[in-house]
């Protein structure tokens, strides 16, 4: 049972890792990363730009306010004989300035932010749809356009390691510890992809930072999201809604392939399952379409 599962996994990983070597795998958060990442989609870039605009405005305000404060504290200190000005209790001019300037700053931030937000919620003209269903504690992906459907859960190797009591930092090959799945969500690059999200049991949330959004997956409700990734690569994420004891162990791996490679992948998945007779037929593959063949 276990060797079969490992064989199954190894086959799937080998098949999927071959084209990945050629691709730059950036955009996932790094250890001790301080700023938010740019991500790899229009939504994530929009969020990053809105964030950077607000950040720089805050920096300028901070420098101006603290600069004025420290200048006043130093220049007009008591030991230099400074006397507090008790006559200034009201200044219409000053009050107008400190009301109007923040309003202008808010407008400067609100206009681009609104524009970006409207774009983020524009699901029109999507070229394909993937249904994402959250379960305790795995994901199911249904490609609504071609019938491909499979579940995606933490790899058996990571699951065994987490329950072994070993320190994963002392084990080789654990660079993406707890961020590896058996069946990755494979998507085409340069394609507007619509997601519909729901859950089967409790509320989950599907979150891949490089895509720039997280969306709740709620039982009985369909939520929407979309993405458009320019460059092939592997992008990792996690469930982002506390959903039970294994909430921390239902990672997400998105593998974006070029359109040609994606078409090949779809063909390999939708081909009539003519399993080689040599392989034992038993075994519980969770995927509706087995991931081993490539």
Shorter beta-carbon distance to Cu ion: residue 189 or 243: 243
Least Å from the CB of residue 247 to Cu ion: 5
Least Å from the CB of residue 271 to Cu ion: 32
153 near Cu ion, rule: CB under 5 A: no
Cβ neighbours, 10 Å, residue 278: 5
Map the chain to HEC letters.
CHHHHHHHHHHHHHHHHCHHHHCCCCCCCCCCCCCCCCCCCHHHHHHHHHHHHHHHHHHHHHHHHHHHHHHHHHHCCHHHCCCCCCCCCCCHHHHHHHHHHHHHHHHHHHHHHHHHHHHHCCCCCCCEEEEEEEECCEEEEEECCCCCEEEECECHHHHHHHHHCCCHHHCCCCCCCCCCECCCEEEECCCCEEEEEEECCCCEEEEEHHHCEEEEECECCCEEEEECCCCCEEEEEEECCCCCCCHHHCCEEEEEECHHHHHHHHHHHHCCCCCCCCCCCCCCCCCCCCCCCC
Least Å from the CB of residue 205 to Cu ion: 7
Closest CA to 254 of 238, 228, 236: 236
Tokens read off for 243 = 């959903």
Shorter beta-carbon distance to Cu ion: residue 116 or 131: 131
154 near Cu ion, rule: CB under 5 A: no
Asked whether the beta carbons of 158 and 264 are under 8 A apart, the reply is no
Least Å from the CB of residue 134 to Cu ion: 5
- Tell me the backbone φ, ψ of residue 3, rounded to 5 degrees: -55, -35
Shorter beta-carbon distance to Cu ion: residue 208 or 290: 208
Least Å from the CB of residue 154 to Cu ion: 12
HSE of 33, CA atoms in CB hemisphere, 13 A: 10
Shorter beta-carbon distance to Cu ion: residue 239 or 254: 239
Kindly indicate which of the ranges 58-66, 113-121, 186-194, 204-212 contains the residues binding Cu ion, using the contact rule CB under 5 A: 204-212
Kindly indicate which of the ranges 44-52, 56-64, 152-160, 197-205 contains the residues binding Cu ion, using the contact rule CB under 5 A: 197-205
Kindly indicate which of the ranges 31-39, 51-59, 102-110, 232-240 contains the residues binding Cu ion, using the contact rule CB under 5 A: 232-240
Kindly indicate which of the ranges 9-17, 82-90, 141-149, 200-208 contains the residues binding Cu ion, using the contact rule CB under 5 A: 200-208
185 near Cu ion, rule: CB under 5 A: no
Beta bridge partners of 143: 130
Q: Which of 181, 239, 266, 290 binds Cu ion (CB under 5 A)?
A: 239
Q: Which of 140, 204, 236, 255 binds Cu ion (CB under 5 A)?
A: 204
User: Using CB under 5 A as the criterion, what x/- string covers residues 253-292 for binding Cu ion?
Assistant: ----------------------------------------
Q: Which of 179, 186, 210, 243 binds Cu ion (CB under 5 A)?
A: 243
Shorter beta-carbon distance to Cu ion: residue 229 or 252: 252
Shorter beta-carbon distance to Cu ion: residue 28 or 216: 216
Shorter beta-carbon distance to Cu ion: residue 130 or 229: 130
Shorter beta-carbon distance to Cu ion: residue 139 or 262: 139
Which parts of this chain interact with Cu ion (CB under 5 A)?
Answer: 204, 239, 243
């Amino acid at each position: 049972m276990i060797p079969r599962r490992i064989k199954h996994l190894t086959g799937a990983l080998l098949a999927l890792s071959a084209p990945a070597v050629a691709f730059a795998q950036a955009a996932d958060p790094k250890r001790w990363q301080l700023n938010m990442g740019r991500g790899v989609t229009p939504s994530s870039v929009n969020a990053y730009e809105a964030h950077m605009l607000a950040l720089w405005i805050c920096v300028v305000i901070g420098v101006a306010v603290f600069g004025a404060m420290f200048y006043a504290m130093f220049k007009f200190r008591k030991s230099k004989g400074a006397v507090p000005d008790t006559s200034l209790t009201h200044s219409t001019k000053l009050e107008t300035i400190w009301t109007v300037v923040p309003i202008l700053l808010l407008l400067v931030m609100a206009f681009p932010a609104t524009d970006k937000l409207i774009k983020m919620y524009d699901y029109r003209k999507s070229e394909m749809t993937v249904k994402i269903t959250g379960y305790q504690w795995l994901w199911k992906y249904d490609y609504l356009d071609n019938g491909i459907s499979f579940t995606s859960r933490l790899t058996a190797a990571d699951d065994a390691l987490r329950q072994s009591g070993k320190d994963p930092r002392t084990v080789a090959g654990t660079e993406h510890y707890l961020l590896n799945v058996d069946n990755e969500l494979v998507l085409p690059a340069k394609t507007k992809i619509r997601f519909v999200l729901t859950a089967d049991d409790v509320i989950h949330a599907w979150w891949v930072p490089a895509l720039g959004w997280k969306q709740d997956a709620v039982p009985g409700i369909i939520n929407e999201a979309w993405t458009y990734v320019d460059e092939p690569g592997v992008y990792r994420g996690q469930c982002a809604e506390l959903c039970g004891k294994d909430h921390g162990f239902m990672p997400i791996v998105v593998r974006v392939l070029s359109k040609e490679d994606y078409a090949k992948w779809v063909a390999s998945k939708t081909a009539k399952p003519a399993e080689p007779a040599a392989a034992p037929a038993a075994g519980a593959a969770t995927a509706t379409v087995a991931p081993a063949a490539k």
